[in-house]
């Protein structure tokens, strides 16, 4: 196959000043140099450490925080909540933007990396992020292989047509055989892995990477040297296959033979199949030691797609060259304790954004001024004057905006809303002090608009004790921690014996509300939900009262 006869750089050369010409100064040139992606993984696969390692290699930070492992490490640059720092996990999504110039290129690519929550309880937040990216990096633990949360998130990528690059992480620790992990990827998710690099040395003895050339031939040996605690970029040495064999002996021979075997089974990179979601380029790495991180960045620049078209609610494509439009995928407050502001993260879909421009909010038809616009790097922020399709921009104190909302100029465009997941955990929340009721209401409204939890209300419980509905119980911990830390409101959480929710309507609600083990609420978006004690109660009511409206909500695994 001709598409596999050259190295990735030869097949997909990076943009240079000579190849771009004057287009580099226009919208098309700006779009072509942007890469917007998310990292998806099971908890503890090393996602935040990889995020930080990427920023280190892009010279955005000078030293990695993950020096001594989770138990005693500094908090990573993308983890800003106190809960995240204390637990060493990510419970919210954050956006990082930085430039990266690939080796041999004269162009700085703009990398928009949206870090996602690292716990399955926050899969709804991760789903929102995946509506805003053009590619995903699937991070797999070398010892554990594919895990449930990774599988669920991959299915979301497949459903949305997002191409996936696979990184097998923690190769510096004992783990499974490289080909065994590749077989598992193909067998369990039907994605053909096509390694661009193979490890030299077994898991736990990571010496370097073999870069695969035409027909699986070993093209280069990249040898890494460890730095103290992995705090700085690992020095690399490039060796010819002959020199590699002389230095590494059996370890190199094994890697070279595995590369040829993969080629014989058709596991060489093909760009069209990758973009179609049929194959996944694979890189073996150690984010903790910064081994393989540069190779991942170069692969993203060379192979990941630039921003493309997005379908509006009518199914018509909105191209990057169309007038300005953007979709809000995340609303977050409390990122800056000094300012206590509220940020709406928007992914620019089309056109050029200029700070101060007046856009239209599609959901209300009202004008919206963009005077306070920021690019984000963890908790750090800088004012942005211009931005382009693929960029993620934070709008400050955008109280009218919520996830799924559209902003535009010129002719109206509206993108499909982001669905809310079916909650499985329910709890009533109230302020411990009646004197804090005003702050309590304000905090609940803010967390609701951010999508931290779903807030349900009915007349019997009133506004003083709304019901929180969540995909996972850790969402409740975020609510209570932020209520205390940001609003000074101490709360009491009473868990309710409901496990399942269904959408209903005004005609069915009165009858459902009379049933034992059922309660009816109105969600903030106006949806009427009936919650049930268990699936058997739901099945009984469906059987006995088939005319009642009970529609399934979107499940977290969908």
Check which CATH number belongs to the domain holding 331 and give it.
2.40.30.10
Residues whose CB is less than 8 angstroms from the CB of residue 477 and which lie 6 or more positions away in sequence, other chains included:
83
201 is known to lie in a ligand binding site: no
The answer to whether residue 76 scores a pLDDT higher than 60 is no
**The predicted structure's pLDDT at residue 450:** 81
Tell me which of 273, 303, 333 is where a domain ends: 303
Least confident of 220-224, 381-385, 426-430: 381-385
Q: What's the farthest any 2 CA atoms get from each other in the chain?
A: 80
Co-location of 79 and 197 in the same domain? yes
The answer to whether the beta carbons of residues 129 and 329 sit under 8 Å apart is yes
pLDDT tier for residue 22 given thresholds of 50, 70 and 90: very low
* Domain coverage including residue 540: 425-544
Whether residue 149 lies inside any domain: the answer is yes
Backbone phi, psi, residue 122, to 5°: -110, 30
pLDDT tier for residue 68 given thresholds of 50, 70 and 90: very low
Say which DSSP state 466 is in. P
H/E element, 427: strand 425-431
Neighbours of 178 (CB within 10 A): 22
118 is known to lie in a ligand binding site: yes
Whether residue 228 lies inside any domain: the answer is yes
117 is known to lie in a ligand binding site: yes
Three-class SS state of 289: coil
- Report, as an integer, the average pLDDT of 411-422: 89
Q: Tokens at residue 156, please?
A: 């979301």
159 is known to lie in a ligand binding site: no
3-state per-residue secondary structure call for 316-337: CEECCCCCCEEEEEEEEECCCC
For 249, counting Cβ atoms within 10 Å of its Cβ (0-12 exposed, 13-18 middle, 19+ buried), the class is exposed
The answer to whether the beta carbons of residues 142 and 175 sit under 8 Å apart is yes
Co-location of 378 and 478 in the same domain? no
Co-location of 395 and 286 in the same domain? no
Residue 265 belongs to a domain with what CATH number? Answer: 3.40.50.300
Co-location of 400 and 438 in the same domain? no
Tell me which of 408, 440, 471 is where a domain ends: 408
Q: How far is CA 449 from CA 268, 417, 477, in A?
A: 46, 14, 17
The answer to whether residue 541 scores a pLDDT higher than 80 is yes
Selection from 516, 418, 488 nearest residue 130 by Cα: 418
- Report, as an integer, the average pLDDT of 231-258: 96
Q: What is the pTM of this model?
A: 0.80
- Number of domains the chain is built from: 3
Co-location of 294 and 332 in the same domain? no
The answer to whether residue 302 scores a pLDDT higher than 90 is yes
Selection from 211, 224, 220 nearest residue 172 by Cα: 224
Q: Tokens at residue 412, please?
A: 């109206």
Co-location of 380 and 513 in the same domain? no
**The predicted structure's pLDDT at residue 3:** 39
Compute the radius of gyration of the chain from its Cα atoms.
Answer: 25
Co-location of 233 and 174 in the same domain? yes
Say which DSSP state 314 is in. T
CA distance 54 to 114: 12
H/E element, 264: helix 250-264
- Report, as an integer, the average pLDDT of 403-432: 92
Whether residue 418 lies inside any domain: the answer is no
Co-location of 186 and 227 in the same domain? yes
Selection from 130, 538, 539 nearest residue 329 by Cα: 130
Co-location of 87 and 148 in the same domain? yes
Selection from 18, 15, 11 nearest residue 33 by Cα: 15
CA distance 515 to 473: 26
Whether residue 555 lies inside any domain: the answer is no
Q: 236-244: long-range contacts at Cβ-Cβ below 8 A with a sequence spacing of 24 or more?
A: 236/294, 244/200, 244/210, 244/218
Q: Tokens at residue 268, please?
A: 């060489």
CA distance 286 to 295: 11
Co-location of 220 and 285 in the same domain? yes
Q: Percent of the chain having pLDDT more than 90? A: 63
Q: Percent of the chain having pLDDT more than 70? A: 85
CA distance 56 to 78: 12
Which one is predicted more confidently, 242 or 121?
A: 242
Q: Tokens at residue 389, please?
A: 């399709």
Whether residue 218 lies inside any domain: the answer is yes
Say which DSSP state 226 is in. -
Q: How far is CA 379 from CA 339, 374, 396, 440, 450, in A?
A: 12, 11, 13, 25, 17
Co-location of 274 and 322 in the same domain? no
**The predicted structure's pLDDT at residue 546:** 96
Tell me which of 272, 303, 334 is where a domain ends: 303
Say which DSSP state 484 is in. H
DSSP string, 52-78: HHHHHHTTSSSS-S-SS-TTTPPPPTT
Length of the chain: 558
Whether residue 201 lies inside any domain: the answer is yes
Neighbours of 1 (CB within 10 A): 9
Selection from 472, 498, 461 nearest residue 556 by Cα: 472
**The predicted structure's pLDDT at residue 8:** 40
**The predicted structure's pLDDT at residue 457:** 96
Mean pLDDT for the chain overall: 86
**The predicted structure's pLDDT at residue 334:** 57
- Which tens digit of pLDDT belongs to each residue from 450-464? 888 899 999 999 889
The answer to whether residue 94 scores a pLDDT higher than 70 is no
The answer to whether residue 472 scores a pLDDT higher than 90 is no
| β-strand pairing of 325-333 with 34-41 | unpaired
pLDDT tier for residue 555 given thresholds of 50, 70 and 90: low
Selection from 174, 153, 171 nearest residue 162 by Cα: 153
Whether residue 112 lies inside any domain: the answer is yes
For 487, counting Cβ atoms within 10 Å of its Cβ (0-12 exposed, 13-18 middle, 19+ buried), the class is buried
- Which tens digit of pLDDT belongs to each residue from 328-357? 998 887 555 555 567 899 999 999 999 999
The answer to whether residue 177 scores a pLDDT higher than 90 is yes
The answer to whether residue 1 scores a pLDDT higher than 60 is no
CA distance 286 to 4: 26
389 is known to lie in a ligand binding site: no
Residue 528 belongs to a domain with what CATH number? Answer: 3.30.70.3280
Selection from 379, 269, 372, 287 nearest residue 67 by Cα: 287
**The predicted structure's pLDDT at residue 93:** 46
Selection from 477, 100, 495, 451 nearest residue 304 by Cα: 100
Co-location of 350 and 233 in the same domain? no
DSSP string, 510-539: HHHHTSTTEEEEEETTS-EEEEESSHHHHH
The answer to whether the beta carbons of residues 150 and 136 sit under 8 Å apart is no
Three-class SS state of 142: coil
Whether residue 381 lies inside any domain: the answer is yes
For 2, counting Cβ atoms within 10 Å of its Cβ (0-12 exposed, 13-18 middle, 19+ buried), the class is exposed
Query: What b/e string do you get for 29-45 counting C-beta neighbours within 10 Å, with b at 16 or more?
Result: bbbbbbbbbbbbbbbeb
Neighbours of 361 (CB within 10 A): 17
């Amino acid at each position: 196959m001709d598409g596999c006869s050259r190295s990735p750089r030869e097949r997909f050369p990076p943009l240079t000043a000579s190849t771009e010409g004057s287009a580099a100064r226009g919208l098309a040139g700006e779009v072509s140099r942007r890469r917007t992606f998310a990292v998806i993984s099971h908890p503890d696969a090393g996602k935040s450490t990889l995020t930080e390692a990427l920023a280190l290699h892009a010279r955005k930070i000078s030293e990695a925080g993950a020096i001594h492992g989770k138990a005693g490490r500094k908090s990573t640059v993308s983890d800003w909540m106190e809960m995240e720092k204390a637990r060493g996990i990510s419970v919210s999504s954050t956006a990082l933007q930085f430039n990266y110039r690939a080796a041999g290129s004269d162009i700085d690519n703009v990398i928009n990396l949206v870090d996602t929550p690292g716990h399955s309880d926050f899969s709804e937040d991760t789903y929102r992020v995946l509506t805003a990216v053009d590619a995903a990096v699937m991070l797999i633990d070398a010892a554990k292989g594919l895990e449930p949360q990774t599988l669920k998130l991959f299915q979301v990528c497949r459903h949305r047509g997002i191409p996936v690059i696979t990184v097998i992480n923690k190769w510096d620790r004992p783990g499974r055989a490289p080909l065994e992990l590749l077989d598992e990827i193909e067998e369990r998710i039907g994605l053909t892995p096509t390694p661009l690099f193979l490890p030299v040395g077994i898991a736990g003895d990571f010496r370097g990477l073999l870069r695969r050339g035409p027909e699986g031939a070993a093209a280069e040996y990249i040898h890494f040297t460890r730095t103290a605690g992995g705090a700085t970029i690992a020095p690399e040495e490039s060796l010819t296959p002959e020199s590699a064999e002389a230095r590494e002996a059996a370890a190199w021979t094994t890697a070279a033979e595995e590369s040829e075997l993969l080629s014989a089974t058709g596991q060489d990179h093909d760009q069209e199949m990758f973009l179609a979601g049929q194959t996944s380029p694979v890189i073996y790495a150690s984010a903790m030691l910064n081994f393989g991180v540069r190779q991942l960045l170069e692969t993203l620049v060379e192979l990941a797609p630039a921003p493309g078209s997005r379908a509006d609610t009518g199914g018509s494509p909105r191209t990057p060259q169309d007038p300005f439009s953007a979709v809000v995928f995340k609303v977050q407050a409390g990122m800056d304790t000094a300012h206590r502001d509220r940020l709406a993260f928007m992914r620019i879909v089309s056109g050029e954004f200029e700070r101060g421009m007046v856009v239209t909010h599609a959901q209300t038809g009202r004008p919206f001024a963009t005077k306070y616009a920021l690019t984000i790097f963890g908790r750090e922020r800088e004012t942005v004057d211009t931005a382009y399709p693929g960029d993620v921009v934070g709008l400050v104190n955008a109280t009218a905006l919520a996830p799924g909302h559209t902003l535009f100029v010129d002719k109206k465009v509206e993108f499909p809303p982001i669905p809310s997941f079916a909650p499985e955990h329910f709890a009533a929340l109230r302020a411990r002090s009646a004197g804090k009721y005003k702050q309590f209401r304000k905090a609940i409204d803010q967390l609701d608009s951010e999508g931290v939890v779903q807030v349900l209300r009915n007349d019997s419980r009133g506004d003083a004790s709304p019901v929180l509905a969540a995909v996972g119980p850790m969402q409740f911990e975020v609510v209570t921690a932020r209520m205390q830390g940001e609003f000074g409101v101490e709360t009491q959480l009473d868990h309710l014996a409901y496990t399942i929710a269904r959408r209903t309507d005004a005609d069915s609600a009165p009858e459902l509300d009379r049933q034992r083990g059922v309660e009816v609420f109105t969600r903030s978006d106006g949806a009427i939900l009936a919650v049930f004690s268990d699936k058997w109660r739901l099945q009984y009511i469906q059987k006995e009262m088939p005319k009642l409206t009970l529609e399934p909500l979107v499940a977290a695994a969908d």
